[in-house]
Structure formats: C-alpha cells, structure tokens
Amino acid sequence: MAKITFDGVEVEVPDGTTILNAARQIGGSIVPPAMCYYTPLKGSGGKCRACLVRVAAGSAKDPRPMPKLVASCVTPVQDGMVVENTTSEQVLNVRKGIVEMLLINHPLDCPVCDQAGECDLQNFAFEHGVSTTRYQEERRTFEKIDIGPLIQLHMTRCILCYRCVYTANQITDNRVHGVLGRGDAAEIGTYIENIIDNDFSGNVIDVCPVGALTDKTFRFKSRVWFTKPVNAHRDCPKCSGNVVLWYKGKDVLRTTARKDQYGEVKEWICNECRFEKKETSDWTIEGPAHIDRSSVISANHYELPVLNQSVIADLPESTQRELAQNPPLKLGS
C-alpha cells in the first residue's frame, strides 16, 4: 500500500495505482479532468494532458519534486508522494492552455451537437477554460463521414483522444479504423472508406468524449436533457444486456451502456441491444437511472441527500425522531 497526499488530503491506495485513480478515491471536485483516459481501455491515457498535476514530492525516499508536470492518469503513485492539483497555480494555468489548444479546431456547435449536455470537453472548458481565444488562423473542417449505417463520424469535432481506436482494437475483431496522418493533420478514419460493422462497434460512440462519433438512430431526435434515462436489461446472448434506455414520452430514443460517475462504461453492450431493441417490450425495466448532480439532466430535478447511518447517529434526538417518522428516500449504510 502507498500513502499519498493529494491537495492536502491523505489517501492510502494499493501499489501501482495511478495518481488519477488515487484522487478518484477521494472524489469530488479535486479529481483531475480526463479527456483521453478511460479505465476499461488498456493503454489509454497520457494524450490529452488535461490531467497534468504537479508532484511536489516524489516519494518518502526521494522527496524531490518532479521537474515537469506529470500526466496523473498514467503515473503510478509512490509511498509518501505529495501531489498538487487544484492547489497549484501552475497546473491551473496549464489546464487553461490545454482547453485553448483543444478548442482550436473543435467547433462550438454545442447548440446542434448531440453530445451537448454529456460532453466532457464542454465540462472541461466550463471548469477550466476562459471565454476567449487568441487563435485567429483558419480552422480545419471535414465533411461528415458515414462509417456504416449506424455511426456517423464528425471529424471536425474530434479531439484525437484515441478512445475509439483503443475500443475498436480491444473489444472488436477485424479492426478497420485508426489514426491516419500526423500532427494537426491527424484524423480518425477507416481503411479506404471501410465501414465498422462488427457486433460491438457501437461502443465507440459511448467512449467518445465529444460529439465526433454519433449514433445515427438518435441524431437530432432530441436534446439529451429532454429525455429520461431508465435502467433496463434483457437476456442477451452476446453481451450483459445491462443498458440505459433514454425515453421521450413512451418512445425509446436511444440505448447506451451504463456509465459510472466518471462517464466510463461499466459493461460493453452489443449492437443488437444498442440499435435494434427500441421497444419497451424488449426490456425488463429496473427503474430510473441515477443522474449525477452535476449532469445537465439533473437541473431542476432535486434529489434528497443521501444520509449515512453514522451521520444520523450524531444528530440531535429530536431530529432523529423526525427522520424516523419521515425517512428520506435514500438511506446509505
């Protein structure tokens, strides 16, 4: 086990844990943003540089600070490490710069983008960016490409996080897409206008942090905040069958995999579940999906706080009696 201090908070984690995952154990707003790192994808991370942090002390054995900022998603912790994230002005300045770089070519077409409301870059820019840019040059644009009947690639929005490439490489066979070209001419593309047509190809849509890869069965049907997510499952021979159905009225507008609080897919789902099962009768409904308080969908939908039993025990007796008579909807253990 290694004990590290992250923004003044001590946390003990198993050896080999990355700084980012150690911070996630603390949770809250001090967790560095991650645009390219994705836990289920082996080898991801280190590319967007959004999660750079300052290591003020390398370890208990060697307490010297690291000379450069390090990518927290790929740097393992060492016992006695001291990390500065929100407490380092240098880190916050660099993050402003990274937002500026990422927005050089990414259009601010949030009003017409299907990812709006669920966009990691939108959140990243809101939390760490500035409202102006110093970039005056011409920006690069692309025509939209249909990579198969189900997925559309809008390369203009791509920030080259490589998540979809790792997904295609690791969970599908006959990989046909990757990164072509280099530098700022690099782009996601398929092998000579090939299509992505294997059973798990739809997962590239879920991992895309921006609106570059979109679900053609959902495009322009509704803004995400007008939909209602519901957990559901079915007996699927190919995948776990655990999904989120996004309802508008009685209609299922889209189906996605379930994600954790960091927007990472918990279990990959197959294309049949994602694209073909759009009737309520296809599914066993479990109930409303949990919506993170920071999500745009949770706006104006208030949730009662989760109270732990240990917290309740410390409350005055009168309050405890009141809580026993009118318990909150959720009680933690």
Partner 1 sequence: MGRKLLTEHINVEGIDTFEVYRKHGGYRSVEKAIKTMTPDEVVEEVKKSGLRGRGGAGFPTGMKWSFLAKPEGVPRYLVCNADESEPGTFKDRQLMSKLPHLLIEGMITSSYALGANTSYIYIRGELLYVLRILEKAIAEAYANGFLGKNILGSGYDLDLHVHPGGGAYICGEETALLESLEGKRGNPRNKPPFPAVQGLYARPTVVNNVESIAAVPVIVNEGGDEYAKIGVGRSTGTKLISACGHLNKPGIYEIELGLPVEEFIYSDEYCGGIWKGRELKAVVAGGSSVPILPKELILKTAAGENRLMTYESLSDGGFVTGTMLGSGGFIAMDETTCIVRNTWNFSRFYHHESCGQCSPCREGTGWMEKVLHRLEHGHGHMEDIDLLVSVAKQIEGNTICPLGEAAAWPVAAAVRHFRHEFEWHVTHAKEAAQPGAVYRANAVLV
Contact residues for partner 1, defined by CB under 8 A: 45-50, 52, 68-69, 71, 74-76, 94, 97-98, 100-102, 104-105, 134-135, 137, 159-160, 162, 178-179, 181-186
Name the strands in the sheet holding 242-248, side by side, starting at the edge strand that comes first in the sequence.
Answer: 251-257, 242-248, 228-233, 284-288
At 329, the amino acid letter reads L
**Exposure letters 80-111 (e unless 16+ CB within 10 A, then b):** bbbbbbbebeebeebbeebbbebbebbeeeee
Using alpha carbons, select from 167, 183, 187 the residue that is nearest to residue 175: 167
Residue 100 Cβ vs partner 1, minimum distance, rounded to whole Å? 8
CB of 315 to partner 1, least distance (A): 47
Quick one: 80 or 97, whose CB is closer to partner 1?
97
Minimum CB distance to partner 1 smaller for 53 or for 113: 53
- CA dist 199 and 136 (Å) reads 43
- Smallest separation, CB 85 to partner 1 (Å): 15
**Looking at beta carbons only, is 182 or 250 nearer to partner 1?**
182
- For partner 1, which is the closer residue by CB, 145 or 179? 179
Least separation in angstroms between CB 92 and partner 1: 13
Measured from the Cβ of residue 199, the count of other Cβ atoms closer than 10 Å reads 17
55: left (phi over 0), alpha (psi -120 to 50) or beta: beta
Say how far apart CA 79 and CA 13 lie, in whole Å.
Answer: 9
CA 259 to chain CA centroid, Å, is 8
- When the beta carbons of 159 and 224 are compared against partner 1, the nearer one is 159
In terms of CB distance, is 141 or 333 closer to partner 1?
Answer: 141
Q: Which is nearer to partner 1, 78 or 214 (CB)?
A: 78
Please give the helix or strand (H or E) that residue 83 lies within, else none: strand 82-84
Report, in Å, the least distance between residue 53 CB and partner 1: 12
Q: How far is the CB of 144 from partner 1 (least distance, A)?
A: 21
Q: From the CB of 194, what's the least distance to partner 1, in Å?
A: 18
Alpha helix positions (H), 279-326: 309-313, 317-325
Q: Residue 211 corresponds to which tokens in the numbers above?
A: 């609106």
